[in-house]
Amino acid sequence: MDQSRTKDPSYFIGVDLGGTKILTGVFNQQLDCVGWSKKRTKPENGPEFVVGRILDTITEAVALSGLGLDAISAIGIGSPGSIDRETGVVKYASNLGWYNVNLASQIQAAINKPVVVDNDCNCCVVGVHAKEFNSKAKNLIGIFIGTGIGCGIIIDGKLYSGSHGFAGEVGHIVLDDKGPVCSCGRHGCFEAYASRNAIINRITSEIKNGHASIIEALGKKDISNLKSGDIKKAIKFGDQLVKNIVEDAARVTGLVIANLINIFDPEAVVLGGGVIHALHDVMMPLIVKTARDYLFKGFPAKVDIMASNLGDMAGITGAAAIAMASKGSK
């Protein structure tokens, strides 16, 4: 270990807490990742267990970076759901089953470092804005599709959080109040049509109703535990049912993007998350076509609609950037 590095507290930790996995990275001041760790979240085991998993990934990421905790200046955490950014409390996260979990205080008590918590998709869009746009884009929207669906919004070069800190809950735009049940308990949310869970639920339902699919032939005994990679593999082997369901999700996503562009008039809309990363080739052409078909006619065609190149790194990069900004503002 380079001892000179451990004496300089100029590194930042970014944590991306998802419904499926926890990814943690250590970053320098140029937002280059120097080490990372990943574990499954297992939210069914409760908040205390998940906090322990976060702490484990922090310990591992720091060790794999060749650093000590004395090199860490602050920790940023992106969590799904509604976040009280002042206190670091996760007010409500449907995909974790959390209500009023004081995440910041628990991590800070264990590690004795400043901790800031923000919505996971706010962190993702900050990471994309910083690394892929070099912080130069004035108006940017990021949509991130994984276990659920979230959104981050940059306006005039700054993260937009709204009057109460809850802006960007695009996944819970209601598209049909008689539609499928969402994880939030309402019917017909965007997330209930296009998230990984929604895609899996529909595949499972169609198979149970007798529609042909090769999913079971791929060795998946529990279809409800499909991963994005399993869905990609099924399409690769010619599963038309799965392809049709994914294409439907892509069209719905394109409609939502068209509406967001009509409202915000951004320079770009960037998509990320596990579903987009795995199913980019199937989804992105349809997303872009549908969005452009439904744009208000006065909007210029030059609005970029693209997939992020950061992949899983977007959330942890943005969380580290938010931690860095919190130190700079004090």
Q: pLDDT tens for residues 105-149?
A: 999 999 999 999 999 999 999 999 999 999 889 999 999 998 889
Same structural domain, 153 and 295: yes
Q: Are 147 and 181 part of one and the same domain?
A: yes
The residues facing 142 across adjacent strands are 152, 270
| Residue 101: CA count within 13 A, CB half-sphere | 23
235: left (phi over 0), alpha (psi -120 to 50) or beta: alpha
Q: What are phi and psi of 67, to 5 degrees?
A: -120, 175
pLDDT digits (tens, 9 = 90+) for 176-232: 999 999 988 899 999 999 999 999 999 999 988 989 888 877 766 677 778 888 899
Q: What average pLDDT score do residues 3-12 get?
A: 65
188/231 same-domain check: yes
In a domain, 230, yes or no: yes
Could you tell me if residue 131 is inside a domain?
no
Residues 217 and 181 in one domain: yes
**255 shares its domain with 301:** yes
Q: Is residue 42 part of a domain?
A: yes
Q: Are residues 143 and 115 in the same domain?
A: no
Query: What average pLDDT does this structure show over 239-257?
Result: 97
Whether 119 and 35 share a structural domain: yes
CATH code of the domain covering residue 35 = 3.30.420.40
Other CB atoms within a 10 A radius of the CB of residue 222 amount to 7
Residue 161 and residue 111 share a domain: no
Phi, psi of 188 (to 5 degrees): 80, 20
Distances (CA, A) of 304 to 21, 289, 308: 29, 12, 12
Whole-prediction pTM value? 0.86
pLDDT per residue as tens digits for the range 264-319: 999 999 999 889 999 999 999 999 999 999 998 877 667 899 999 998 899 999 99
Domain match, 297 and 318 both: no
Of 173, 169, 138, 151, nearest to 255 by C-alpha is 173
Q: Are residues 204 and 232 in the same domain?
A: yes
Distance, CA of 92 to CA of 81 (rounded, Å): 5
Identify the domain containing residue 238 by its residue range: 136-307
Q: Answer yes or no: are the C-beta atoms of 54 and 48 closer than 8 Å.
A: no
Q: Is residue 224 part of a domain?
A: yes
284 & 321 share domain: no
In terms of C-beta distances under 8 Å and separation of at least 24 residues, what long-range contacts does 205-210 make, across chains too?
206/241, 206/245, 207/241
What is the distance between the alpha carbons of residues 273 and 15, in angstroms, rounded to a whole number? 15
State yes or no: pLDDT of 8 exceeds 70: no
Phi, psi of 101 (to 5 degrees): -95, 120
- Does residue 328 carry a pLDDT above 90? no
Per residue in 53-84, pLDDT (tens digit) is: 999 999 999 999 999 999 999 999 999 888 99
298 and 167 fall within a common domain: yes
Q: Are 252 and 194 in contact, with CB atoms under 8 Å apart? A: yes
Question: Looking at the domain assignment, is residue 291 inside a domain?
Answer: yes
Instruction: Report how many domains make up the chain.
Output: 2
